[in-house]
């Protein structure tokens, strides 16, 4: 489903786009692994995944391909859902002792983000403290080559230049932005996502919607990112509820797999906003799943940002399938866009309030200060104060 919005191209500044060297799509596409490994001259893989994916046999769908081709590998699975500095440092030590010359990352954002951090520090040892990677780190060398196979349709870590690591000592999530970390090869095989439970499908899908919407209204948005964002919004709106409520729908699963990747192509290059700034502290404070945090906060932040990006809300509503948007007033189009987000969130079972996911009201002032200092805040279309962020938290609470 394509959504067309004609905009004048902005020639007033240079716009950068960084994408994968190579990506494959489609159910069963993991079968290309042996040929790609051989073509690149790789010898042994450091296989990064998590214990749950091994427990339920998802990771084995990839190791089986490596086994059949005689590709050697060492497995590392010490990864939390919000990966920590310790997960990275332990993984780095395991990588060094493994004798591997490339990384295969299988999982959601947790596994792929951990793999990125390991790969970067392995080739840039001056960043071994991990905390110095926060923000835009001036690394000089490309990461150890990473092949990424996502098992969730949400983070798009396989195509982005971003990764997020939790500093448990400082109780904060570090957003790291580095073109040197992007995987050399991504394989978006929807068959690896078929066994995702409903709750995870919903959370990661709403994470992808948040990426697409924030990408569309961020300060850095431009013609090419708009193209990615609107297409992703349309595809997510058309496929997410079906993927959640009819998990056996290969069409919906594959639609979400592609949609989240498209959203990643956009936000990786133009940034996000305060939905992510406000979600990151929830992960650091309470270990809240990132997609759930984004999904709960998204409609409240959209309400706050409406005055700064009003014209784009009509496009969002249209992409989400709202009829009659052309005839609506600006205020009605804004309400329609926010209403469509709320309706989709409800349809896939996302809680409406922060108190439902364990957030404590007494923590809101601290959360607000943490969100204000987050890397994503600068991309928000409206410049917030700590008090304004606190008010959004309170409305969402």
Q: Tell me the CA distances in angstroms from 219 to 189, 278, 378, 379, one per residue in order.
A: 32, 17, 8, 5
Among 161, 158, 160, 145, CA closest to 192: 158
Residue 7: band (very low, low, confident or very high) from pLDDT cuts 50, 70, 90:
low
For the chain, what percent of residues have pLDDT higher than 70?
97
Query: Average pLDDT for residues 142-153, to the nearest whole number?
Result: 97
pLDDT, mean over the chain: 95
Q: Is the pLDDT of residue 13 over 80?
A: no
Q: Is the pLDDT of residue 6 over 50?
A: no
pLDDT tens-digit readout, 286-305? 999 999 999 999 999 999 99
In the beta sheet, which residues pair with residue 175?
164
pLDDT tens-digit readout, 261-280? 999 999 999 999 999 999 99
Residue 12 pLDDT = 61
Q: How far apart are CA 297 and CA 394, in angstroms?
A: 11
Sort strands 102-107 and 44-48 into parallel, antiparallel or unpaired: parallel
pLDDT tens-digit readout, 212-251? 999 999 999 999 999 999 999 999 999 999 999 998 899 9
Q: How far apart are CA 271 and CA 267, in angstroms?
A: 5
What is the CATH number assigned to the segment(s) 198-396? 1.20.1090.10
Q: How far apart are CA 228 and CA 216, in angstroms?
A: 9
Q: Is the pLDDT of residue 10 over 90?
A: no
Q: Looking up tokens 């998204």, which residue turns up? A: 298
The answer to whether residues 225 and 269 touch, using CB atoms and an 8 Å cutoff, is yes
For every residue of the chain, which 3-state class applies, written as one string?
CCCCCCCCCCCCCCCCCCCCCEEEECCCHHHHHHHHHHHHCCCEEEEECCHHHHHCCCCHHHHHHHHHHCCEEEEECCCCCCCEHHHHHHHHHHHHHHCCCEEEEEECHHHHHHHHHHHHHHHCHHHCCCHHHCEECCCCCCCCCEEEEECCCCCCCCCCCEEEEEECCCCEEEEEECHHHCCCEEEECHHHHCCCCHHHHHHHHHHHHHHHHHHHHCCCCCHHHHHHHHHHHHHHHHHHHHHHHCCCCHHHHHHHHHHHHHHHHHHHHHCCCHHHHHHHHHHHHHCCCHHHHHHHHHHHHHHHHHHHCHHHHHHHHHHCCCCCHHHCCHHHHHHHHHHHHHHHHHHCCCCCCHHHHCCCHHHHHHHHHHHHCCHHHHHCCCCCCHHHHHHHHHHHC
The answer to whether residues 184 and 248 touch, using CB atoms and an 8 Å cutoff, is no
Task: Delimit the domains of the chain by residue range.
Answer: 29-188, 198-396
Q: How far apart are CA 236 and CA 340, in angstroms?
A: 12
Q: How far apart are CA 11 and CA 140, in angstroms?
A: 30
What is the CATH number assigned to the segment(s) 29-188? 3.40.50.1970
pLDDT tens-digit readout, 114-128? 999 999 999 999 999
Residue 5 pLDDT = 52
Q: Is the pLDDT of residue 64 over 80?
A: yes
**pTM, whole model, 2 decimals?**
0.94
Residue 11 pLDDT = 57
- Taking each helix axis from N to C terminus, what angle separates 290-305 and 274-286, rounded to the nearest 10 degrees? 150
For the chain, what percent of residues have pLDDT higher than 90?
94
Query: Residue 213: CB partners within 8 Å, gap ≥ 6?
Result: 229, 233, 298, 302, 316, 341
Q: How many residues in the chain? A: 397
Instruction: Please tell me if the domain spanning 29-188 has the same topology as the one spanning 198-396.
Output: no
The answer to whether residues 244 and 252 touch, using CB atoms and an 8 Å cutoff, is no
Sort strands 72-76 and 135-136 into parallel, antiparallel or unpaired: unpaired
The answer to whether residues 306 and 326 touch, using CB atoms and an 8 Å cutoff, is no
């Amino acid at each position: 489903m394509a959504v067309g919005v004609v905009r004048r191209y902005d020639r007033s500044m240079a716009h950068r786009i960084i994408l994968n060297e190579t990506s494959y799509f489609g159910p069963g596409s993991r079968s290309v692994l042996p040929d790609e490994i051989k073509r690149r001259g790789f010898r042994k893989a450091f296989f990064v995944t998590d214990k749950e994916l091994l427990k339920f046999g998802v990771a084995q769908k990839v190791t089986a391909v490596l086994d059949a081709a005689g590709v050697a590998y060492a497995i590392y699975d010490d990864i939390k859902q919000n990966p920590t500095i310790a997960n990275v440092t332990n993984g780095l030590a395991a990588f060094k002792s493994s004798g591997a010359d490339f990384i295969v990352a299988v999982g959601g954002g947790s596994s792929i983000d951990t793999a990125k951090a390991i790969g970067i520090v392995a080739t840039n040892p001056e960043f071994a403290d991990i905390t110095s990677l926060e923000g835009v780190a001036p690394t000089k060398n490309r990461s150890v080559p990473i092949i990424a196979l996502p098992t969730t349709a949400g983070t798009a870590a396989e195509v982005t230049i971003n990764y997020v690591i939790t500093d448990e000592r400082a109780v904060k999530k570090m957003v790291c932005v580095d073109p040197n970390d992007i995987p050399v090869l991504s394989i978006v095989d929807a068959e690896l996502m078929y066994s995702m439970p409903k709750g995870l499908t919903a959370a990661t899908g709403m994470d992808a919607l948040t990426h697409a919407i924030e990408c569309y209204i961020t300060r850095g948005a431009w013609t090419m990112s708009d193209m990615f964002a609107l297409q992703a919004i349309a595809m997510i709106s058309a496929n997410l509820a079906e993927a959640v409520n009819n998990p056996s729908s290969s069409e919906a699963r594959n639609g979400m797999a592609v949609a989240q990747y498209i959203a990643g192509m956009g936000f990786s290059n133009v940034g996000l906003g305060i939905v992510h700034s406000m979600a990151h502290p929830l992960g650091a404070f309470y270990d809240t799943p990132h997609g759930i945090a984004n999904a709960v906060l998204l409609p409240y932040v959209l309400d706050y940002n409406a005055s700064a990006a009003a014209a784009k809300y009509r496009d969002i509503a249209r992409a989400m399938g709202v009829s009659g948007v052309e005839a609506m007033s600006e205020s009605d189009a804004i309400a329609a866009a926010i209403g469509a987000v709320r309706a989709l969130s409800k349809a896939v079972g996302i809680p409406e309030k922060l108190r439902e996911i364990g957030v404590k009201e007494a923590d809101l002032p601290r959360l607000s200060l943490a969100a204000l200092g987050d890397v994503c805040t600068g991309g928000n279309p409206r410049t917030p104060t700590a008090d304004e962020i606190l008010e959004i938290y309170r409305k969402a609470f």
